[in-house]
């Protein structure tokens, strides 16, 4: 992104930085969103759902950022970046007319600290760097008291304090304050390095000393890589699957186990529009599907941690079950607007909190039951409390499944009898029956079998449109919804059932352009929100999954390759994708997109294995490539 000089001499991007130009750093407590040109434009500390101290992503540099980049005064530098190995240690290399240098940065995986370390290293010639540090607490609204001080060892630091929050900047070279910003320019040559460290702590606590940057970078790389070695996936999409697993892990809060839907708020689904939501919370649906993705690839400890989180979060009366919680399991997520922020690309309002927490969504329990069913099937030790909770929730479902709801897409329009919600109610009871029949759990299995059969018949009677040859979005509708593709995943019908195949074909005809699939037709007005949206990446991967399960491996593989090719240079995905402009849309990085990628790759691998012949000669697919 071209940078321009503002009247006060600062460097600013010319327009909003494209979402795909961001990478992230993370320590499993929070996530920093850093642009290709070295600006940390979004950071909430100490937790991912805390208030932001850098909020330029949704406003301007005046709302807080930490810029460290090669000076573009002599021409925009060539920028190449990558994660080092299977980690979230980011290396960005700048090549300018005068030399080459790199920045290696990370949020170290250390207990009891919240740090960002950034190391500038000269490689060839001489490269001039621009450094600017602008702290604004309270989502870019509160200017802190900033002063120079010394750390416990007498080294110079800059300290920014506002209320309970304090940020300390350590460094080999500290910037100078002027007009609410701290700035510096410095040059590095071969062998030179400059370390900078940002540390958060409570303002009443002692000033923290700096960490050992070299030790923290090496240790953090090793810890991420060690976690990845748990994965049992091997195949064509291995690199993309590993990066997606890492994205899911970086969005999982340590030590609570809550899984965030995304690291950001209010990145718009409709550029310039009002479809802007806060995703920094734990949706039971997203977290349950993340758990399934991890379990399918061997990550058992994460499953146990999330099961414990679930028991804590939903403890109490099943009537009070929410569809989402804060990452620590607390329930209060009031939605409000931040008028002082201009919004990403002018998309307003900027929202924090999420009013959908009060919605009723019948599909959620199905997702939770499917995840816990898979945990039983892979041999995770049973939990009496866990089964007791499931029984209570199933009993509550029996009384509520006939009611209309807001559906998987959290519509803010009228309640409806969404077909997907009914199917997931069926799935919840199917899991409950299997727990009794296959695993010896106790429960009124005859009653559950009868309710399961009743829901199945209800869906066939009211969710199927014989004239369209497809299931429909909600009872009485004449159009589809991409969530219907999940019928193939949950086993509502056999994979060769004409009704399932007809629904997949209808979804492709109505909502898809090749591999790119929209959630539903916005023009129907079903969601009660103005504006449009783009192909929803999770739905795109659901189509791959459905095609794989129903035997169309050639199309499934072709689509999977196209979707993986759309990942950005560091292997991350947003919520939606604009295939015309090749731009990311929506919150980022998005757990739903990454978990759907992992599960689609797994489904494709399983489907290939079922048809792969024994022996050295594999059949050749339509594109002239081995089908395996």
pLDDT of 9 strictly over 60? no
pLDDT for the residue 532? 83
| % residues pLDDT > 90 (the chain) | 82
Distance CA 76, CA 542 (A): 40
pLDDT for the residue 72? 92
pLDDT for the residue 613? 52
pLDDT of 621 strictly over 80? no
Per residue in 332-355, pLDDT tens? 999 999 999 999 999 999 999 999
Helices and strands, counts by H and E, the chain: 14, 28
pLDDT for the residue 186? 97
List alpha helices for 264-418, DSSP H: 284-296, 300-314, 364-377, 384-400
Residue 178 has φ and ψ, to the nearest 5°, of: -165, 120
Per residue in 294-310, pLDDT tens? 999 999 888 889 888 98
| % residues pLDDT > 70 (the chain) | 95
pLDDT for the residue 10? 56
- Other beta carbons less than 10 A from residue 495's beta carbon: 15
- Other beta carbons less than 10 A from residue 351's beta carbon: 18
Radius of gyration of the chain (CA): 25
pLDDT for the residue 3? 53
pLDDT for the residue 627? 24
pLDDT for the residue 618? 33
Q: Give the CA angle between residues 346, 348, 353 to the nearest 5°.
A: 135
Write down the mean pLDDT value for the chain: 92
Distance CA 12, CA 47 (A): 27
Average pLDDT of 518-522? 93
pLDDT of 319 strictly over 90? no
CA dihedral 371, 220, 136, 183 (to 10 degrees): -150
End-to-end CA distance of the chain: 40
Confidence of residue 381 (pLDDT cuts 50, 70, 90): confident
pLDDT for the residue 619? 33
Q: What is the 3-state secondary structure (H, E, C) of 440-503?
A: CCCCCHHHHHHHHHHHHHHHHHHCEECCCCEECCECCCCCCCHHHHHHHHHCCCCCCCHHHHHH
**C-alpha 236: how far from chain center:** 23
Domains belonging to the chain, first-starting first, are 4-211 (2.70.98), 237-611 (1.50.10.10)
Confidence of residue 419 (pLDDT cuts 50, 70, 90): very high
Residue 200 has φ and ψ, to the nearest 5°, of: -95, 140
Distance CA 326, CA 550 (A): 37
Per residue in 123-147, pLDDT tens? 999 999 999 999 999 999 999 999 9
Confidence of residue 625 (pLDDT cuts 50, 70, 90): very low
Average pLDDT of 445-474? 98
- Among 58-72, 302-316, 422-436, 543-557, name the one with the lowest average pLDDT: 302-316
Average pLDDT of 403-413? 91
Distance CA 594, CA 585 (A): 15
pLDDT for the residue 75? 84
pLDDT of 614 strictly over 70? no
pLDDT of 499 strictly over 90? yes
pLDDT of 536 strictly over 60? yes
User: Can you tell me whether residue 566 is helix, strand or coil?
Assistant: coil
pLDDT for the residue 624? 28
pLDDT of 317 strictly over 80? no
Confidence of residue 12 (pLDDT cuts 50, 70, 90): low
The CA-based diameter of the chain, rounded to the nearest angstrom, is 79
Q: Which of 583, 6, 51, 23 is nearest to 272 (CA)?
A: 583
Average pLDDT of 49-57? 98
Residue 255 has φ and ψ, to the nearest 5°, of: -105, 5
CA atoms within 13 A on the CB side of 59: 23
């Amino acid at each position: 992104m071209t940078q321009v000089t503002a009247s006060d001499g600062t460097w600013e991007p010319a327009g909003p930085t494209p979402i795909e130009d961001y990478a992230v750093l993370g320590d499993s407590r929070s996530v920093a969103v850093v642009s290709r040109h070295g600006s940390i434009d979004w950071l909430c500390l100490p937790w991912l759902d805390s208030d932001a101290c850098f909020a330029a992503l949704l406003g301007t540099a005046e709302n807080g950022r930490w810029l460290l980049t090669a000076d573009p005064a002599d021409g925009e530098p060539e920028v190449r970046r990558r994660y080092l190995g299977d980690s979230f240690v980011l290396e960005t290399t700048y090549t300018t007319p005068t030399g080459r240098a790199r920045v290696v940065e990370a949020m170290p995986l250390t207990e009891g600290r919240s740090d960002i370390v950034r190391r500038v290293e000269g490689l060839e010639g001489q490269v001039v760097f621009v450094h600017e540090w602008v702290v604004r607490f309270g989502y870019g609204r509160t200017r802190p008291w900033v002063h120079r001080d010394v750390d416990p060892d007498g080294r110079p630091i800059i300290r920014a304090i506002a209320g309970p929050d304090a940020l300390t900047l350590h460094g080999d070279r500290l910037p100078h304050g002027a007009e609410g910003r701290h700035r510096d320019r410095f040059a590095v040559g071969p062998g030179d390095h400059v370390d900078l460290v940002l540390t958060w702590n409570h303002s009443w606590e002692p000033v923290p000393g700096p960490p050992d940057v070299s030790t923290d970078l090496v240790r953090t790389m090793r810890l991420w890589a060690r976690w990845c070695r748990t994965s049992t996936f091997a195949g064509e999409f291995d690199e993309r699957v590993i990066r997606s697993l890492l994205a899911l892990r970086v969005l999982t809060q340590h030590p609570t186990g809550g899984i965030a839907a995304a690291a950001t708020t209010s990145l718009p689904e409709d550029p310039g529009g009002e479809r802007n939501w806060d995703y920094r919370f734990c949706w039971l649906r997203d977290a349950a599907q993340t758990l399934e993705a991890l379990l399918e690839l061997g990550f058992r400890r994460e499953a146990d941690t999330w099961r414990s989180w679930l028991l804590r979060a939903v403890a109490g009366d099943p009537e009070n079950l929410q569809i989402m919680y804060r990452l620590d399991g607390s329930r209060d997520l009031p939605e409000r607007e931040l008028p002082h922020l201009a919004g990403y690309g002018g998309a307003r309002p900027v929202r924090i909190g999420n009013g959908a927490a009060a919605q009723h969504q019948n599909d959620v329990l199905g997702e939770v039951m499917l995840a816990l069913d898979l945990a039983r099937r892979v041999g995770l030790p049973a939990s009496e409390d866990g089964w007791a909770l499931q029984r209570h929730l199933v009993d509550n479902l029996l009384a509520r499944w006939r009611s209309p709801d807001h559906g998987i897409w959290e519509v803010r329009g009228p309640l409806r009898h969404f077909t997907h919600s009914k199917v997931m109610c069926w799935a919840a009871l199917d899991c409950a029956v299997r727990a009794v029949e296959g695993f010896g759990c106790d429960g009124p299995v005859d009653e559950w079998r009868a309710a399961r059969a009743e829901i199945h018949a209800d869906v066939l009677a009211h969710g199927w449109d014989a004239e369209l040859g497809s299931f429909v979005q909600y009872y009485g509708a004449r159009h589809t919804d991409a969530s219907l593709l999940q019928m193939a995943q949950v086993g509502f019908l056999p994979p060769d059932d004409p009704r399932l195949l007809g629904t997949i074909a209808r979804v492709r005809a109505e909502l898809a352009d090749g591999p790119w699939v929209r959630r539903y037709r916005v023009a129907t007005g079903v969601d009660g929100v103005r504006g449009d949206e783009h192909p929803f990446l999770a739905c795109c991967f659901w189509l791959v999954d459905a095609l794989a399960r129903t035997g169309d491996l050639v199309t499934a593989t072709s689509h999977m390759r196209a979707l993986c090719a759309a990942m950005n240079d560091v292997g991350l995905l947003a919520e939606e994708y604009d295939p015309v402009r090749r731009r990311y849309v929506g919150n980022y990085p998005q757990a739903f997109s990454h978990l759907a990628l992992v599960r689609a790759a797994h489904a494709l691998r399983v489907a290939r294995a079922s048809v792969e012949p024994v022996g050295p000669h594999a059949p050749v697919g339509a594109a002239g490539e081995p089908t395996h």
